[in-house]
A and B are shown apart, each in its own frame.
Chain A
Amino acid sequence: MPHPLEGPFAVEHSARLLRNYRYVVERALRAAGGWIALTPELSAKLLLGRHVWDLAQHADAFGRRLPELRATAHQGEPANAAVVAFMDAVEAPEAPHETVERLVGVYRVLKPHLLAVYSQHLARANAVYEPPTRQILARCIEDETRHVTAGETILRHLVRTPELEARAAARQRRLEPLLAAAGGVTGDVPPDAPGGTASPAVETSDDAREWIRLEKAVGAWPMPAGLADALRAFGGALGAGDAAAVARWLAPGTGWDIAGLGARAPRSSRIVAFARIGRQCVVKLALDGAGPTVTLQSRWVPGEAGWRAAALEILGRDPAPAVLPPR
């Protein structure tokens, strides 16, 4: 039976581990904070928003513990250059359509690894003379377990096509070897070390399923009488490439030409946004066809002749539009 005062870590080693943790947690924290504005999906925004503060508290706890271990407060340190390269790769995806890549890096690679490393550290840290570190690790494990579960819930919600599944898998395949090459965040984790597991049963007030529910698009837009019919006819005219029929739906003086859509007429149109300004309505139509999806924003006004478009603007051509499932 081991002596209760036996322990695998010297003070310096323990401080080094905490510096290594602090380095990656601080980088993850700053990346997650910065990504919120760059991420379109509401559920993913809320996921990141909820976890930034937990990560900041983890980095803070590690940083405050350091002087107690004869080290400088709040000084993170990468275990090696490969850890820096791994974190560079984790924080690289910044484009709006790269939400899946961002979340896979953090929630399927980094956080499960942190969970594993913290768990192993806690299991080995001496219970008599390392309770301050153990308490920090226990709190981080609890949070990371919750984070991984929530992240996985959001990823399953967002990764809903074979193409997105392939992208998620490719992202994981790219990052995991980088992490293994670094020897994990502490530089000394063997490649075959057991991974962290997240309990699926964690229930807290910040439930990722609720963020998904809040994100879901409305199934039927609450449109005033006649507008839905007008939009259907307008969409049909656009699909037929019929400039005269399109013009019939424009308010007098509205200068817009179907030629603005380019050579290919859209095959179909769907409403992706509906907003009200007093008695007027702004409608975004996604026009699908052979080429990229075109988003057309139009403002509709009621009149004696019924609803007419008073302003139209092409917002962009998106090769891979994000479509939310209807409620």
Chain B
Amino acid sequence: MERPIAYDKLAREDRFVRMRARDVADLKIAQGLPPFPDLSSRESIKERVHGIMVGELQAMEGAGRSVCDFPEAPWEFTLDMARQVWDESRHVEIYLRLLEHLDGFAGEFPETTILWRCACAEDAAARVAGVNRGLEGLACDVFNQLVHIARKIGDPVLERAVEFVLADEITHVRMGSKWLTRLTEGDPERRRRAVEFQETIDERFNLGGVRREGEHDLVPISIATDVRRLAGFTEEEIERLIKTTQRSQVY
């Protein structure tokens, strides 16, 4: 089998429209809309849920590639990645059903492949740092906020389902921390490159100032500091993330 595959080989059914994240954001701004759905209405929650659904799809595909691409990694690494594939496949199903719950459908909004691109790192340590700590860390922020919003608007279906997904994501971050350490043991240069890769992803997923420290109702994506602590991020890492969001360019 080809290992790893080029990022443009990601296969999709025709019904999905694929566009660059920047182009979608620009088209929305040109219409006087926020670049990312702000959870202020059921419609924007639906759009956020659609974005999460395609993100989960790409996370499943990325974890599947990690099972495939690194046969030389320790067996326990493959086991953890296989477990993540299973988790993400359930998440895809959960979010497809939540889309139905919100009267939406798969393909209703464009898919961007920014997450998938991050999952194409050639080094296993960089991939777990970027995907399991960078992207799944973002997922912790987004899902924690979505649980809060669902509770506030009185949607127990959304609240309960997303809370269970959040529990899985915390586990995935822990897996990422474990494998970042184990895979780079005795190789500080490899660790440095992997952490750098994660930081570029964190920076990218500050989404131009959309992710910030703040109350769930006041910022588009609030950093889930408590959940991040639970997932094993250090105080120093959380502090650094908050600082980077403060210097990110704002749309």
Enumerate chain A interface residues (CB-CB to B < 8 A): 29-42, 45-46, 48-50, 52-57, 60, 63, 74, 91, 94, 96, 210-211, 214-215, 217-218, 272-280, 282, 284, 286, 295, 297, 299, 321-324
Q: Do B109 and A276 touch (CB < 8 A)?
A: yes
Cβ of A279: which chain B residues have Cβ within 8 Å of it?
A: 31
**A38 partner, pick from B11, B57, B63, beta carbons under 8 A:** B11
**A282 partner, pick from B2, B11, B19, beta carbons under 8 A:** B19
Shortest distance in angstroms between A309's beta carbon and chain B's nearest beta carbon? 14
B5 within 8 Å of A by Cβ?
Answer: yes
Enumerate chain B interface residues (CB-CB to A < 8 A): 1-3, 5, 9-17, 19, 24, 27-28, 31, 33, 57, 60-69, 71, 75, 78-79, 81-83, 85-86, 88-90, 92-93, 96-97, 105-110, 116
CA–CA, A161 and B78, complex, Å: 37
**B14 partner, pick from A54, A94, A286, beta carbons under 8 A:** A286
Q: Do A46 and B14 touch (CB < 8 A)?
A: no
Cβ of B69: which chain A residues have Cβ within 8 Å of it?
A: 34
Given contacts A34-B68, A37-B9, contact A278 B28 (CB under 8 A): yes
Known: A52-B86, A56-B79, A56-B83. 13 other contacts (CB 8 A): A33-B63, A33-B82, A36-B65, A38-B5, A45-B89, A46-B93, A52-B85, A56-B67, A96-B11, A218-B105, A282-B19, A297-B17, A323-B14
Q: Do B68 and A280 touch (CB < 8 A)?
A: no
Shortest distance in angstroms between B127's beta carbon and chain A's nearest beta carbon? 13
Given contacts A37-B5, A45-B57, contact A53 B64 (CB under 8 A): no
8 A/B residue pairs, CB under 8 Å, sorted by A: A33-B81, A34-B3, A34-B69, A36-B65, A215-B13, A277-B28, A278-B31, A324-B15
Cβ of B105: which chain A residues have Cβ within 8 Å of it?
A: 218
Q: Do B97 and A60 touch (CB < 8 A)?
A: no
CA–CA, A227 and B43, complex, Å: 20
**B78 partner, pick from A49, A56, A94, A218, beta carbons under 8 A:** A56
Given contacts A46-B93, A214-B93, contact A56 B13 (CB under 8 A): no
Given contacts A31-B1, A275-B108, contact A37 B10 (CB under 8 A): yes
CA–CA, A218 and B2, complex, Å: 34
Q: Do B11 and A29 touch (CB < 8 A)?
A: no
Q: Do B85 and A33 touch (CB < 8 A)?
A: yes
CA–CA, A276 and B28, complex, Å: 10
Closest 6 CB pairs of A and B: A49-B89, A34-B68, A33-B67, A53-B86, A56-B82, A36-B64
CA–CA, A54 and B82, complex, Å: 9
Shortest distance in angstroms between B80's beta carbon and chain A's nearest beta carbon? 9
**B75 partner, pick from A36, A48, A74, A210, beta carbons under 8 A:** A74
Q: Do A37 and B67 touch (CB < 8 A)?
A: no
Cβ of B110: which chain A residues have Cβ within 8 Å of it?
A: 275, 277, 282
Q: Do B60 and A36 touch (CB < 8 A)?
A: yes
Q: Do B96 and A53 touch (CB < 8 A)?
A: no
Closest residue to B24 on the A side, CB-wise?
A277
Cβ of A45: which chain B residues have Cβ within 8 Å of it?
A: 57, 60-61, 89, 92
**B93 partner, pick from A29, A211, A284, beta carbons under 8 A:** A211
Closest residue to B74 on the A side, CB-wise?
A74
**A34 partner, pick from B13, B67, B86, B93, beta carbons under 8 A:** B67
CA–CA, A285 and B107, complex, Å: 14
Closest residue to B2 on the A side, CB-wise?
A94
